[in-house]
Amino acid sequence: MATAHVHMLSLSRDDASSPPRHTLAANGARVVREHFLTPRSGAVGPWYMLPQVAVPTTFSFSLPPLLQPTYALFFVGWPPCRVLLRATHPASFDKFLSVTPSQRETTRHPVYYFKDGPIVFLVESTLFRLHPCLLRIRSPLFCLMLDPMAPDILGGNKEGKSDDTPIEIIQASARDFECVLRWMYTPESVGAPWCQDTLTAVLRFAEKYDFPDALAFAKSRLETDTFQPVPSLCLILARHHTIPDWVCPAIRDLIRSPVSAIPPDHIIDLGVHTLHTLALAKEAIARLRTSLTSHIPSVTHGIRCVDTKLCQRGLAFCWTQVNVLVHNTGVSLTASDVMAKLDEGAISGLELMNPDCLRATLNEIRPLLNQEEIVTMEWVEKLAQI
């Protein structure tokens, strides 16, 4: 079952003798069931006990002492009053929707303001007139928030019916909403080509407002070679939008890439802790590579070897090139990549060795070079926990 953050609480008192209770409703900006209070009655409870609930479940429980300092009661319609509980902490209480008369200059979107659309949304300063049936089909969260059977608790019958009383989508950008609407309204065959920025915008809005198909579309497109973001952006998107299958591959790519490959505007989003741990990982791998390549391995000669010195000379020539490949900061080759080249015989000098000697020697070298993969995965796990 989907989950959504609690947005509003309605408080009720069954009778004078019973303790006050409140009913949680997690359906966006609406209350599943309303309760009215008589004047001068009310109660509040601790926010930390009410982080998330499964929708459309409602439940009640007894409240602690009245008027704790971290809360404020807002009364609407007195008497009897309708009570909305807002936490002064955290600021994420009003995360999704609000309905207030528009008091700022607004403009209608040139494309997504449909004359036959029965509901008006405001995002930043842009008005969108849309078809709620499409939003309800595409988003479980909007399906609950725009449920025609739910009571109107903020704007009455005028809620979202005009430019003066739009439903405001807060903590979102008009451009991100526009990109999701483009995905929703425009067939891909006739629309403009998607780019990384527009796909990222879809990802942002779809994750926050529960558009699962749009989220899957953006993720699948960004995972293709055409749109593959740089590793730093992949990690940022994975963290911000909870895409766990992107985290480890992005970290691996960051470890094997030079720090100069991280765009300056990604540094703040990655954070000091990540960058510091990433630097430690690179230092550990650099030390390991130095220890692995600081001496030429011994040749394991086979019984058919007729020239041991030639085999040793061939391996020595090969190892000088291995040093260059391993320590070349401009080439993102791992020790495993170098081992693959050795197995393929793609490094000069190996052709001088007896085949039996070469095979036996590579079997001795392989566990040494594979140590880098083990160390890398240890650092990937550390970075993934940040």
Q: How far is the C-alpha of 30 from the C-alpha of 81, rounded, in Å?
A: 17
The pLDDT of residue 111 is 95
Q: Is residue 325 part of a domain?
A: yes
CA 285 from centroid of its chain's CA atoms = 28
Cβ distance 255 to 376 under 8 Å?
yes
Q: Is residue 213 part of a domain?
A: no
Q: Is residue 181 part of a domain?
A: no
Range(s) of the domain holding residue 134: 99-176
- The DSSP line for 292-322 is HHSSPPPP---TT-S-HHHHHHHHHHHHHHH
**The last residue of a domain, from among 92, 126, 144:** 92
pLDDT(21) > 70: no
Q: How far is the C-alpha of 209 from the C-alpha of 123, rounded, in Å?
A: 13
Rounded average pLDDT over 43-70: 33
| Each residue's pLDDT tens digit, 211-247 | 999 999 999 999 987 888 899 999 999 998 889 999 9
- Residue count of the chain, please give it: 386
Q: Is residue 248 part of a domain?
A: no
Cα end-to-end distance, the chain, whole Å: 28
**The last residue of a domain, from among 51, 69, 92:** 92
pLDDT(10) > 80: no
pLDDT(330) > 80: no
| Residues 11 and 80 placed together within one structural domain of the fold | yes
Domain count of the fold of the chain: 3
Q: Is residue 291 part of a domain?
A: yes
Residue 12 identity (one-letter amino acid): S
Rounded average pLDDT over 340-368: 94
Rounded average pLDDT over 70-79: 30
